């Protein structure tokens, strides 16, 4: 009987080829969409951590409550002492201070008069200290477009698009006008050492990168930092571990009523990312359900058409004494074989395409010019262990359910009418 079923599938392509192609296509799309959403999630988190506030961030409670407004008047004082404690008690992370600020960048002409101006967002990081992780974290060398990296105090990096809009090139002098930590106004002259492009529109439109010591001098923030960012030494974001470490740190200051006491926030908790990641997880479930439903309907109809074509064959098998249950189970077994084969082929094709996009990425810069989120315009897939078997869920379930639903017609056959049916 097994040989009979095998030869039937192999020789009658209408029973196997179309359902197989349906399963292959559906499984391949499921795998690609799964890895695509995972890639978007991983890329979004990685870019937000690298260019934003790390995997975890320590800031004052007052700063955390108004973080979107960059309230440097509520910055952490005594940053060196806090850094020392963090490095001693929380060794899972690599710690580095940062200052986020905003100001006006003024470009003078030959006479010292204003030639161009533009609002600038500033990121102050430790560029020059021996062993500072910031150049590697920001990946400055590959991001450099023109000029060179800053090598001495007073040199800055400017977003290439921003520099082009201001009409300046590396070597130009600019003046920063910004507010200090204590509410005063500060001005400082800088030299543009080079320009960068991170591929994140939110950073590339109007960002400048300044050495931390220069920013502290200009903003009157001696031994202060807006945030002390932590990056997992393992290199990837561990959500559960980050939440555990943040809770452990916050418990140390739970009894304090000081609004300037430090608080540790995780990457997910900042900027409402938990809601977005929850939406992504829901999308993964929806994708599987949609493809399962679509393939079920197609394969169910295919099964009904196949039963009509195989009306005589089923009648002969019943007339020869084969039970309805056995015929029914045989049809489900056929569908399972087709579903398994299609799932294997579809998963292989989907993984091949996903691995290629994971390696090379797809450039969506033309569609993301006005994006305000910290995310790269070159999107990649991300292949995880789940991607190797997630396609089997719709692939096998849809074929078996479709065959099981369509095969119910077998039980409606009247054995007493078999001879009459065979005569016709």
Q: What pLDDT digit, counting tens, does each position of 295-337 carry?
A: 777 766 666 565 555 555 666 666 676 777 777 777 788 778 8
Q: How far is CA 300 from the centre of its chain?
A: 35
243 is written with which tokens? Answer: 């939440």
Beta partners for residue 228, in sequence order: 58, 97
- Could you tell me which residues come within 8 angstroms of residue 400 by beta carbon, excluding any fewer than 6 positions away? 332, 335, 336, 339
Which DSSP letter does residue 55 get? S
Determine whether 367 is exposed, middle or buried from the number of CB atoms within 10 Å of its CB (0-12, 13-18, 19+): exposed
| 380-396 per-position pLDDT tens digit | 788 888 888 888 877 78
Instruction: Name which of 123, 121, 190, 180 is nearest 152 in CA terms.
Output: 190
Instruction: Report whether pLDDT(225) > 60.
Output: yes
| 96-126 per-position pLDDT tens digit | 999 999 999 999 888 778 888 889 989 999 9
Q: How many CB atoms lie within 10 A of CB 5?
A: 15
| 21-31 per-position pLDDT tens digit | 878 888 888 88
pLDDT at 143: 86
CA distances from 248 to 93, 228, 254, 265 (A): 14, 16, 10, 11
273 is written with which tokens? Answer: 């990312």
* Between 191 and 51, residue with greater pLDDT: 191
| 36-66 per-position pLDDT tens digit | 888 877 777 777 788 888 899 999 999 988 8
Which H or E run includes 56? Answer: strand 56-60
């Amino acid at each position: 009987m097994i040989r009979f079923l095998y030869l039937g599938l192999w020789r009658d392509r209408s029973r196997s080829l179309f359902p197989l192609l349906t399963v292959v296509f559906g499984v391949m799309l499921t795998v690609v969409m799964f890895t695509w959403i995972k890639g978007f999630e991983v890329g979004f988190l990685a870019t937000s951590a690298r260019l934003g506030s790390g995997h975890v961030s320590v800031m004052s409670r007052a700063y955390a409550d108004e973080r979107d407004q960059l309230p440097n008047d509520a910055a952490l004082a005594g940053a060196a002492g806090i850094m020392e404690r963090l490095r001693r008690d929380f060794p899972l992370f690599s710690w580095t201070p940062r200052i986020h600020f905003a100001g006006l960048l003024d470009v003078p002409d030959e006479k010292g008069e204003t030639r161009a101006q533009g609002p600038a967002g500033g990121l102050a990081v430790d560029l020059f200290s021996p062993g500072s992780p910031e150049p590697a974290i920001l990946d400055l060398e590959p991001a450099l477009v023109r000029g060179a990296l800053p090598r001495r105090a007073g040199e800055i990096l400017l977003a290439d698009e921003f520099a082009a809009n201001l009409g300046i090139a590396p070597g130009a002098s600019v003046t920063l006008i910004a507010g200090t930590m204590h509410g005063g106004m500060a001005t400082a002259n800088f030299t543009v050492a080079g320009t960068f492009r991170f591929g994140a529109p939110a950073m590339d439109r109007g960002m400048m990168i300044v050495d931390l010591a220069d920013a502290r001098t200009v903003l009157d923030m001696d031994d202060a930092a807006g945030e002390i960012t932590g990056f997992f030494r393992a290199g990837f974001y561990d959500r559960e571990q980050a939440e555990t470490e943040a809770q452990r740190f916050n418990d140390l200051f739970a009894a304090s009523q000081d609004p300037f006491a430090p608080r540790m926030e995780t990457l997910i908790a900042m900027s409402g990312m938990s809601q977005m990641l929850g939406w992504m997880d829901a999308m993964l479930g929806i994708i599987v359900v949609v493809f399962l439903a679509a393939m079920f309907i197609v394969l169910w109809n295919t099964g009904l058409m196949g039963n009509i074509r195989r009306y005589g064959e089923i009648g002969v098998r019943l007339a020869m004494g084969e039970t309805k249950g056995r015929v029914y189970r045989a049809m489900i077994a056929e569908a399972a074989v087709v579903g398994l084969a299609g799932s294997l082929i579809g998963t292989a094709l989907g993984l091949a395409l996903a691995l290629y996009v994971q390696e090379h990425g797809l450039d969506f810069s033309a569609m993301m010019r006005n994006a305000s989120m910290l995310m790269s315009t070159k999107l990649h897939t991300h292949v995880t262990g789940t991607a190797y078997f997630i396609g089997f869920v719709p692939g096998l379930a849809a074929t078996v359910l479709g065959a099981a639903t369509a095969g119910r017609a077998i039980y409606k056959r009247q054995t007493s009418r078999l001879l009459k049916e065979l005569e016709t």
